[in-house]
Copies of this chain bind each other. A is one copy, B any other.
Amino acid sequence: MNVGVIGGSGYVGGELVRLLLFHPDVTLNYVGSRQYAGEFVYRIHPNLRGLTKLTFEKVDFKIITDKTDLVFTAVPHGSAMDIVPDLLSSGLKVIDLSADYRLKNPDDYIVWYGFEHKNPNLLEKSVYGLPELFRDEIRKSNFITNPGCTATATSLALAPIIKAFDVDASKIVVDVKIGSSGSGFNANLMSIHSERTHVVRAYKPIGHRHTAEVEQIIKTYSTKNAKISMSVHAVDMVRGILSTNHIFLNSDNITQADVWKIYRNVYGNEPFIRLIADKKGLYRLPDPKIVTGTNYCDIGFAYDKRTNRLVVLAAIDNLMKGAAGQAIQNMNIMLGVSETAGLLFSGFHPI
C-alpha cells in the first residue's frame, strides 16, 4: 500500500511522515508541501536527518494519484475542502486532518468557522475517526475526518459518562490546557519564546471551535444533548493537552466503583486508553507529560461527593492521539492491519 501526506511541512504533517517511515505495512512515497517543494524533508523536520532522503513535492493532483492509494491531508482549515473531493473521486482513500469534514451540519461551519461549506453533500459521507467510539464505521469507510485534538481528549472523557449517568447536561465545564505545538509551525509574536514561556493564557475562554465537535460526538454516541462550556488555556509545554471535565451529577448515590465500571466497560480492551487513578507513585492521575510522543489517551477521575461533581481528566499528546497518531490508527483500521502497527511507542521518563 502506497501512502502520501499533503501538507508535510507542518507539525502534524511531520509526525505523519515520521510514523509512516517506520510503519511496517505501508510505504510512504509522497510528501507534499506548497511552500517547501524541492527541499529535503529533514531540513524542516530535523529529527529525520539521516533517516530519509525524501524531498517535499508539489501538491499536484496527478503526482498524488499516480503515487498513492491512500492520502493524509494535513492542510489548514478551509483548504482541505478544495482538495478532498477530487482525491476521493479519483478513488483514493482519504484521511483528512483538517476540520473541514468533521461537522455534519453545514450551518455549523458558518457559526463556528465563519465560512460556508463548499461540499456540504460530502459531510454525510465522512466518518468521524475516533476509533474507541466509532470503530465499526471506520473499518468500512474510505473517507475519514480525523478528530480535533481537544475534541479527542474531551469526548473520550465525557461520552461514556453522559451516556451512562444522569448529569446536568447544560452545565458541563471543560477546562483545557494545551501546549505550544498546538499553534503550529508558524511565526507570530504571541508564539515567540520570550512571550510564550510560563504563560497561562486563556486564549479561548469561550467559543472554541471544538465545542461543536464534542457536542456532536456526545449526541451521536449517547443520543443525549449536552451543552459544553469549554475554556482553553495555553500553558508552558510543547506537546500535550489536559482536558479537565467538571460534570455535575443529578443523582448522589454514585460511587467511584460505578464510574470505574463504566470506563472499563467501554475502554477495557482499548489498546490506546489507560485508566489511571492510582493511590501511589508520583503520577496518580493523567498528565500530558507522561504521554508525550505516544498515542495514548490517559483517563482518570475524582469524585467530589460534597458538590456531587465528577472531575474527569484526559491527557493526550495533541500531535499524536490528537492528530497524526490517531490518523495512523484510523488507517490501520481501514486497511485491516494491526490497529497498533507503528504506534507502540511507550513514552519517556523523564521527559
Q: Of residues 167 to 198 in A, which have CB atoms within 8 Å of B's CB atoms?
A: 168, 170-171, 173, 175, 177, 179-181, 183, 185-198
Interface size class of A (residues with CB under 8 A): 35 or more
Query: A349–B11 Cα gap in the complex (Å)?
Result: 7
Q: Which of B15, B43, B194, B348 contacts A281 (CB 8 A)?
A: B43
The stretch of A81-89, A91-99, A144-152, A227-235 in contact with B is: A227-235
A42 surroundings in chain B (CB, below 8 A): 281
| Cβ contacts under 8 Å, A306 to chain B | 206, 227
Task: Tell me if A197 and B200 are in contact (CB < 8 A).
Answer: no
Q: A47-B346, A282-B46 given as contacts; is B233 within 8 A of A242 (CB)?
A: yes
A24 to B238, CA, bound (A): 31
CB of A198 within 8 A of CB of B246, answer no
Whether, in the assembled complex, A274 has its beta carbon less than 8 Å from a beta carbon of chain B, the answer is yes
Question: Is A154 part of the binding interface, using a Cβ–Cβ cutoff of 8 Å?
Answer: no
Most B C-beta atoms less than 10 A away, residue of A46, A227, A244, A246: A46
Interface-facing stretch out of A117-125, A157-165, A258-266, A286-294? A286-294
Tell me the bound Cα distance from A14 to B349 in angstroms.
7
Q: Choose among B173, B193, B307 the residue that contacts A193 (Cβ–Cβ < 8 A).
A: B193
Measured CB to CB, the nearest residue on chain B to A294 is: B47
Cβ contact within 8 Å between B244 and A197 = no
**Any B CB within 8 A of the CB of A313:** yes
Q: Is the CB of B177 within 8 A of A227?
A: no
| The stretch of A48-56, A64-72, A331-339 that contacts the partner chain | A48-56
Task: Flag if A236 contacts B238 (CB, 8 Å).
Answer: no
| Least distance between A182 CB and chain B CB atoms (Å) | 9
B238/A282 in contact, CB under 8 A: no
Q: Is A350 part of the binding interface, using a Cβ–Cβ cutoff of 8 Å?
A: yes
Q: Are A177 and B177 in contact (CB under 8 A)?
A: yes
CB neighbors of B among A321-351 (8 A): 344-351
Chain B residue at minimal CB-CB distance from A279: B43
A285 within 8 A of B: yes
Q: Taking the complex as formed, is A205 at the interface, i.e. its CB lies under 8 A from any CB of chain B?
A: yes
Query: What is the CB-to-nearest-CB distance from A348 to chain B, in angstroms, rounded to a whole number?
Result: 6
A278 in the interface, Cβ–Cβ < 8 Å?
A: yes
Assess the A236–B233 pair: CB atoms within 8 A. Answer: no
Q: Does A62 touch B at the CB level, under 8 Å?
A: no
Give the docked Cα–Cα distance between A15 and B281 (Å).
18
Q: Which residue of B lies closest to A320 (CB)?
A: B348
Interface of A toward B, CB cutoff 8 Å: 11, 14-15, 18, 21-22, 39, 42-51, 168, 170-171, 173, 175, 177, 179-181, 183, 185-202, 205-207, 227-229, 231, 233, 235-240, 242, 244, 246, 248, 274, 276, 278, 280-283, 285-290, 292-294, 296, 301-304, 306-307, 309, 311, 313, 315, 344-351
A-B contact pairs, 12 of them (CB 8 A): A22-B344, A175-B246, A179-B198, A181-B194, A185-B194, A192-B192, A195-B282, A200-B240, A200-B288, A205-B311, A227-B306, A233-B244
